[in-house]
Structure 1
């Protein structure tokens, strides 16, 4: 019986109970693009939606998929329920797509044999028949495409990209790139009228070898183009005349992390970091924004607004990255490179407000900025994206925004590649669920695992081994919207950050301190152990596992701990050497006597992959246990909360036959995990139950490594029925 079937998830609490409501973008759907493969196709192949466009009526999305060599189409007549329309083969590598009206998708197709012999074409695909109706030879390798607002021409950035493995990977590497401008007459390409706009001799860096990256066209027909590797920007007329050009410049950065050391420490600086922009979007006819992704020499982690004469109107510096850090999306594994790495952009006006949508490739976040005043943009909100957002399309006539997220986790056991759809609503922002905003110092967080509720109304959470150099106990106030981290207690050993910990469970000791369960990995010299930690975070005692357990030890160990009447109970994630199939141990340790024992818990048969336990907590006569599989998205089956009556927890001696407890289902979490329009996240890791019975759930974002970084932190209501 599902005891919480009568409860409505209070995810709305994390979305806010704002007194003065404001319009916000909220995700309403996620579409795994593998669904566009035809019946019988090999769905284990990598898919990657990159650049995305839409028909004029906003009913169809069209995206490029480079690994498959296709463009994919999605029916969004009902945007909350997108439907597959299939793929169209383009006989090459699609690099970008732009849709004109409701009829034609123009696709840049790379057909290059080598870096030194680049080639490509612009294909016109009839959307209704899903067939190619025309093609123009471009004379080089295309990157981005853009159609003039009046439909009079389409422009293509011909990058002729460099070989990053040649020498130092730097420029020059000929042949030079250029900008192609193809006239359109009633939507048809005039291949004979192609203009090759020469942009050589302009940049300070390798002027003989420009590499155009991204193009956009304003209402006056002026083309702005980024030369990323050259760190330069050019503005062209529709006939290819250079109207202005200037260096993209550099930025001095303070408060950044440049070391990939398993810790989030933002105390470093960098001077003269080249912007090296990728994405570019006109905001109006005189201003455009650039996303400073960086390439071979730069990457300033933010974004900039220029006047077309080259004047810097606005520079974000580290503001964007710092906002991303506070919501737990900072990619520590990219600290030595370019941090959050803004790459793509979109700009559009919704409800009279001009917005810029900034896509952070490595943080998997969309920064939504109100640019009513281009000199003083306001961060309106941060949206959760799929992994590695590459392209976005705004559909303001339908109050919609769609993103194409290129990373496909098929080879890494992560989520498949998705297109996500957001709606501009008269509603509170549904994300983030958790933030460190408001703390005195910039505080990063992530990979949150075990949780426990205190009588003080706070929730205490630990991070796991991803941050091995920075084990931390986070104090969370769930009364805020979003929930707020109000303190971060470093876990230390003899005054230094404690190493060799994989904290997966936490309990309060009743005296201001904590008990923490660490999941061991003997192959990495990480011990299976219990730690008694003082209020200041210092380790006071370490308790190793007894010989009876270590004799049957496996990698997947303790995944939660709770304290009941002087006895610690730990949930073992998966079967160890002496466990029957689909049975795992709930292990007991009497603090006073030092005695160990266990019972067996029957877990679900996995549909795919494996099923294990990830949390245990005691409340009012019951032990509540999180049971989950290791699957994402549509493959996920088991994400549940169960409970076991305390009178069943009669531990037997280790090494012998253990009693098997009976479990009762409390909550199937699949509905909660999709309630904000995203795909089902893998790791439901935290469960905390307040004294009044209110239960809180959290997910582990794997430190934003092959993960979108999204953390869900929400209440499922009261477990007292």
Structure 2
């Protein structure tokens, strides 16, 4: 891979806060060899827990929580549908003590998705074995691991957290649809009263009032994405021609017209979207041939199903609460609605929605917001492109700075992909409307070494004619800071890509399950996933985990309007042959270092077993729990 040096230099110059950190005039060097701003904290890895029988990329270490009284770390092991309990009395040598198994109390328990600890209690979010059915929150003692109580919550409880006083548990119930979109549960937020952990009580916060015709429908911001395919038409395939363009004959094509979009699901390949060129009787001619990833020929007629994009989930069905941050005073919760590119603000005492905040888009065409858009150019090419990034945050964190409350978001991005609905498509494969920037002639949206390779969304078709009217991209490739009024006051812009390009070189924008540089430039780049914040020695810091490239970014956010880069730490071995030696099972999942940081937890010096504050990171692809000292 080659650096396009002039372009990269321009990106660095436009990101003025990074001049010292990236070019090293006054910077120090951290223990990991990465650049470090002088006079700031640094992370140093001191311990790591991994077991050799963890399967690679099967989420053996996701969410982490800590109990200071017992010095135990609770780690969600989604691979085993359990929580691993680690002894952290010696942070350099964490050891496994026990396991919490949700199925002991509930026979229908499916995956465990989240864990949180407060006041000696451990709360666990457990989805139903049928993910569209209601899940549960289970409560245990942290000291003796005894079960205390459980309560039913919404469908697919994805994340939970205690309020600061430990009396309530806030749960984001994602409510994802099933694969064929015949069921789409409503997304909700549960407020669990845990004052009597043996008999927890629950209130549910609904979004139904924001549905069309609902009492608060007019309050829903116009640019909140609502696009689910519940109620879609399912068309049985009776024949197909694997030609260019391809065609499918179905049992009833009466609802299909030219310009419609279909998702074709195959038992042998990935579901993919296709546009209709024409319809004759029950034969549908597509605008293209079949993508090889669909593997139509291998599936045959019996292995294909066609779904028409003609359904419409309600607002409540379409909202999928992802992550919760509770304000420091415990009065309100901010809940990310990742796929909807929005945040819901919840009044905890009233168990009601105060407002929906639309996050809007990020202009990648201006200095400071550059990005690399292609995995086919064999180069680091961080430059301006005429696209708008949808922030679409995953995790969110509340922090008080100088008496004001702020919310930090990790702007990952996430596309919907189900058998009955796939929204993601590349610009080079999409029909584009005769509007700017597509018709300006300055950029070639068919060039796979440039912006043509970037993934976009079918929801950019704003007038329903089957052509994309906007140049949208998934995720912000950044972290943002919002004030308590919902205004975005800072964003890290292109800094994550600029920093990793400078420090990792050819390994920039790597995926988390293989070592192949530049492989994620076309799809969300470094993909910020986890975020944490802490007050240390008079400064406030943000810690951001990059899910794909890996590693932890550290920023000083003492001035929330002007965050300063401090350090990037990554213990990954980019030379390791992951595909050959780990993916085939011959080496343990952790052999190449930490892969796929999913959660980050700060432990203060007062609560830590030693005399230094700690950062605990759960890495889902490598199945490792890593302990850092903050020095």
- Within 5 Å, which residues of 2 pair with 1:70-81? 70-81=82-93
CA contact (8 A) 1:110 1:141 kept: yes
Give 1:107 shift.
Answer: 0.4
SS at match of 1:269: coil
* Displacement after TM superposition at 1:187 (Å): 5.0
- CA shift, 1:393, in A, is 0.8
Q: Distance in 2 between matches of 1:166 and 1:308?
A: 39
Residue in 2 that maps onto 1:651: none
Asked whether the equivalents of residues 34 and 569 of structure 2 are also in contact (C-alpha less than 8 Å), the reply is no
Cα gap change, 1:81 to 1:140, in 2 (>3 Å): same
Q: Is the 8 A contact 2:82 2:99 kept in 1?
A: yes
TM-aligned CA deviation for residue 263 of structure 1: 3.2
Residue matched to 1:330: 509
* Deviation of the 1:25 alpha carbon: 1.8
- Partner residue, 1:106: 123
- Whether contact under 8 Å (1:182, 1:189) holds in the other structure is no
2:200 aligns with: 190
CA gap 1:67/1:13 in 2 versus in 1, 3 angstroms? closer
Match of 2:225 in 1: 205
CA distance in structure 2 between the partners assigned to 1:177 and 1:20 by the alignment: 45
Task: Say if 1:185 and 1:367 are closer, same or farther in 2 by CA, change over 3 A.
Answer: same
Q: What's the counterpart of residue 320 of structure 1? A: 496
Output the aligned Cα RMSD. 2.6
Please say if residues 334 and 344 of structure 2, whose CA atoms lie closer than 8 Å, have aligned partners that are also in contact.
yes
State the 1:373 CA deviation: 0.9
Give 1:67's match in structure 2, choosing from 79, 91, 94.
Answer: 79
Q: Whole-Å Cα distance in 1 between the matches of residues 617 and 408 of structure 2?
A: 18
Query: For 1:366 and 1:200, how far apart are their aligned partners in 2?
Result: 40
Query: Distance in 1 between the 2:90 and 2:485 partners?
Result: 43
Give the C-alpha shift of residue 218 in structure 1. Answer: 1.6
In the alignment, structure 2 segments of 5+ residues that lack a partner are 1-28, 104-109, 211-219, 227-314, 416-456, 458-473, 511-517, 572-593
Question: Which protein is richer in strand relative to its size?
Answer: 1
Alignment correspondent of 2:410 = 291
Instruction: State the distance in 1 between where 2:531 and 2:122 align.
Output: 20
Go from structure 1 to structure 2 and tell me whether the alpha carbon gap of 1:384 and 1:19 turns closer, same or farther (over 3 Å shift).
closer
Question: CA 1:90 to 1:313, structure 2 compared with 1: closer, same or farther past 3 Å?
Answer: same
Match runs of 1:298-313 below 5 Å: 298-313=474-489
Q: Any idea what the Cα deviations from partners look like across 1:56-103, whole Å, max 9, x if unmatched?
A: 3471111111111110111111111212213221123110000112x3
Q: Distance in 2 between matches of 1:335 and 1:243?
A: 37
1:137 aligns with 2:152: yes
Spell out, residue by residue over 1:683-702, the C-alpha distance to the aligned partner (whole angstroms, 9 max, x if none): xxxxxxxxxxxxxxxxxxxx
TM-score normalised by L of structure 2: 0.58
Q: Distance in 2 between matches of 1:155 and 1:18?
A: 36
> 1:198-221 CA distances to partner (integer Å, 9 max, x unpaired)?
376235222342110000112221
Secondary structure (helix, strand or coil) at the match of 1:387 reads: coil
2:357 to 246, 250, 266: 246
Mapped to 2, the partners of 1:266 and 1:346 lie a distance apart of: 27
For 1:145 and 1:19, how far apart are their aligned partners in 2? 34
CA distance in 2, matches of 1:199, 1:97: 28
Q: For 1:107-136, what per-residue CA distance to the aligned partner results, in whole angstroms no more than 9, with x for missing partners? A: 00011415xx33210011223333432111
Q: Which residue of 2 aligns with 1:373?
A: 559
Are 1:256 and 1:269, in contact at CA under 8 Å, matched by a contact in 2?
A: yes
**Structure 1 contact 56–100 (Cα < 8 Å) conserved:** no
Return the alpha-carbon distance in structure 2 between the equivalents of residues 18 and 214 of structure 1. 30
Contact 2:394 2:410 in 1 (8 A): yes
Name which of structure 1's ranges 367-376 and 22-31 shifts more when overlaid on structure 2: 22-31
In the TM superposition, 1:455-534 aligns within 5 A as: none
Partner-residue secondary structure (3-state), 2:496: helix
Which residue does 2:161 correspond to in 1? 146
Q: Summarize the Cα distance change of 1:182–1:28 in structure 2 as closer, same or farther, 3 Å threshold.
A: same
Q: How far does the alpha carbon of each residue in 1:316-353 deviate from its partner, in whole angstroms, 9 at most, with x for none? A: 11112211221214321111111000111111212232
1:124 matched to 2:139:
yes
* CA distance in structure 2 between the partners assigned to 1:107 and 1:292 by the alignment: 25
* Per-residue Cα deviation, 1:143-193 (whole angstroms, up to 9, x for no partner): 111110011211000101245x548xxxx97222011001121655522x4
- 1:226-245 paired onto structure 2 within 5 Å: 226-238=336-348, 239-245=350-356
Residue equivalent to 1:402: 616
Q: Normalising to structure 1: TM-score of the pair? A: 0.51
* Distance (Å, rounded) in 2 between the aligned partners of 1:396 and 1:166: 46
Q: Which runs of 5+ in 1 are unaligned?
A: 1-10, 36-41, 409-416, 426-721
Matched, 1:266 2:375: no
Taking a change above 3 Å as real, the CA distance of residues 166 and 321 of structure 1, as seen in their structure-2 partners, is farther
SS of the equivalent of 1:84 reads strand
Measured in 2, the distance between the counterparts of 1:13 and 1:55 equals 28
Q: Which runs of 4+ in 1 moved over 4 A?
A: 11-22, 42-47, 186-189
Of 156, 168, 171, 1:156 maps to 171
Instruction: Tell me the equivalent position of 1:689.
Output: none
Question: Contact 2:328–2:398 (CA<8 Å) still a contact in 1?
Answer: no
Equivalent pair of 1:244/1:309 in contact (CA under 8 Å):
no
Asked if the contact 1:53–1:98 (Cα under 8 Å) also holds between the matched residues in 2, the reply is yes
What is the CA–CA distance in structure 1 between the aligned matches of 2:372 and 2:64, rounded to whole Å? 32
The Cα shift of 1:244 comes to: 3.2
Preserved contact between residue 214 and residue 225 of structure 1 (Cα < 8 Å): yes
